[in-house]
Chains A and B, each alone.
Chain A
Amino acid sequence: MLFAMSIYWHLPLMLLVISLVYSATRHEQWDEILGEAFRWGIRMFGFMLVVALVLYGASLLWP
């Protein structure tokens, strides 16, 4: 039920589209586009993970 309803399943799609489109506007060769997209994907995922962990920690401290 949680897996079916969670809005977080939409986030990887946003991450994929933003990193791919952004990288494709900065490079012309596909290997460069995909490499840059991968790096941006990792950065954004890491940022979102940190935010999620901070919010989770806050919810434990102040339920």
Chain B
Amino acid sequence: MTELLKIENLKVNFRTFEGVTNVLNLESLSVAKGESFGLVGESGAGKTTLAYTILKLLPIPPAFVESGVINFEGENLLKKSEGEMQKIRGKKVSMIFQDPMSTLNPVFTTGQQITRVLQHNQGLHKAQAKKKAVELMNLVKLPDPENILSKYPHELSGGQRQRIIIALAFSCGAQFLIADEPTRNLDVTIQAGVLQLIAELIRETNVTVLFIGNNLELVSLICDRVGILHRGQLVELGSIKEVAKHPAHPYTLTLLRAIPKEKREKIDLTQIALKAEEKLAEKGCRYAGRCLKKEKICLEEEPALKHIGGTHYIACHL
């Protein structure tokens, strides 16, 4: 399989008052063409930072990229100028954002916003763009397109807005889609609908996806392969079956255990509740501070990703 996205030695830091904090440290990560790759981790793990880094939307400062290569179709995105990035954003790589409530501009109707993007990105005329917008509304299964297109974002529900954002992400023929927790801030029934829509669109358009989520089970509905991110580092990587059925890293175990389930008398939150230390240790495993199985070596040496069978990798000494 050909790799569409290949990340190597990526280090992204934030400069704060207390000094420089590393938020992303990825040795190697690649997403094959046509694949759906899931990225799971708790809040603050660096998932969204990775999404922004790929699109070069990081607020610089305080963030800065220390080193690394992000190869997309064999070209390093980090070396691209702002003008070149504009040709890539939306047209080759597009993104669905977390919070549908604030992703649309409140002062324009949804129709105006969609047609403007179509006019600019695809050079369509106004009438063509309007027609295409209606088609897009049908694509994301929004009934009564003309009515929806004439409404302002605040007149629509969260689910409707997220569908419009999905329509925008699919509007300009991007081959690579970053979905950053697209079901966040939506209630459960709508989550299911939006997730199903995304899954269908992925199947139909054969787009490559980087799906970001904090719930492994939810991610497993969409993705083929999954990576577990903890404090900017990949701790486990493998096919969805391997990771979900046989989680090997202690962090993955706690993540899975934190999902509330029926019949389980009590949810064990003891481990996950252990807070990550404010500052990163200078050496050793980044998870060691919260790990219940930690040993001496964990505090001294940083574990590298090691192969444990199939396509399954973990970064743990044990």
Do A and B make up one complex?
A: no
